Amino acid sequence: MPIESYNPYTGRLLRRFRPFAWSKVERILAQSHRAAAAWRLSSFAERARLMRRAAALLRERADELARLMALEMGKPVVDGRAEAQKCALCCDYYAEHAEQFLADEEIKTEARHSFISHEPLGVVLAVMPWNFPFWQVVRFAAPALMAGNVGLLKHASNVPQCALALEKIFHDAGFPPATFRSLLIGSDLVGKLIEDDRVRAVTLTGSEPAGAQVAATAGAQIKKTVLELGGSDAFIVLADADLALAAKTAAQARMINAGQSCIAAKRFIVEKPVVKEFISQMKTHLLALRTGDPLLETTQYGPLARPDLADELTEQVNDSVQAGAKVELFGGQSAPGTALFRPMILSNVKPGQRAYHEELFGPVALVLEAKDSDDAIRLANDSRFGLGAAIWTRDVRRGEALARRIEAGAVFVNALVKSSPEMPFGGVKKSGYGRELSYLGIREFVNQKSVWVAPAPQAEGKKVE
């Protein structure tokens, strides 16, 4: 099947690409494997020089990249521009810190000299999603390349132009071409790539089923994986919270990328005394948001990335309402088979409903009523996901204490959950394992090698005074 790029706002076909045949994929893999042997010997200074150039190109081409995102997956150009800038920040961060993060660690033993070295693995395959088509890739590629690995990208099939634009940035920055390549392939060749001995590790950001399949294939080959999967993030609002700020941030948190974000807040767990007022204020903020053509500077949220995603979300909402959920804000899909989906709020969300158990990947806010803070934590943890969470309270110490009780990879107190180069990113439970970003992220795909040097032997018969 061809790999096709559609504009979700207009429904028009933009470009069609012929998928790479396995013979071409294998040729690229062979080149990458050979490049890995040379790239691992490059200095941190040389890698950093090229990575800073990549950062500069990301900034220079921010408008062009934002336009591509708007056309291929519906992200407003204002947000796309910010995504390109964030990618540049990540490149600069690892250019600055990689050598320090991967420096030998001296270990005191009975040896003359012992230490842990961090050495590259080789070819790392990245299977990446469409929702943040540059950021998702750069947060893998920047640390991987700075560590001395090389990258092969299998991007989502609806953003091929984004995949090729990112490849061009790394090549134009001066990286040897085989150190980063975008493979225009379907998911049918991913397993075959993982099974090839020249691929040393795999990272995937995507759905739970895709993660399970990649992990199973990699596990059979005894290969390291990092998985960043779905999330149904809890946004806890306690009765003593700054309700106006919490409600405003809640609307923003739910509408990140039109709600198509793993760490977008999805379950709003609100203490009973303030639940009605919270819904009222959040509704006001959601209704104020402007939709339209993603290419316009005034558009605040665009369509979902594909019509089938909107169809699936509509089905989840309808099934949940039939099971007892209450619609507090009517919105949703304008018509079956279209990608535009206006914000919705559902309350009375209970166990047994799809909205309670599943991730709703779009602008539907789920409000759950909590009796008290302990009940709020119980509801937050009553999910198979564990990616991010937020707690809103005027008592910061209480917020920190409650944050430690939440089963998630990240908890933000009185703030919007976000990713940044300095802090590790990833989840627990069905949200995946391993970490991206920070010093932990760059150490995921290295060989942590113990080196032990014996004491110098004492000359036989030598007199010791």
Distance CA 203, CA 194 (A): 11
Asked if 4 is an active-site residue, the reply is no
* CB contact at 8 A, 98 and 442: yes
Token digits of residue 419: 């990713």
Q: Which of 83, 162, 262, 271 is an active site residue?
A: 262
Instruction: Calculate ∠ Cα 107-111-114, nearest 5°.
Output: 35
Asked if 262 is an active-site residue, the reply is yes
Distance CA 386, CA 432 (A): 8
Beta strand pairing status for 224-228 and 428-429?
unpaired
Q: Which of 167, 228, 407, 444 is an active site residue?
A: 228
Over its C-alpha atoms, the chain yields an Rg (Å, rounded) of 24
Tally Cβ neighbours within 10 Å of residue 219: 11
Residue 359: φ, ψ to 5°: -80, 125
Residues annotated catalytic, as ranges: 228, 262
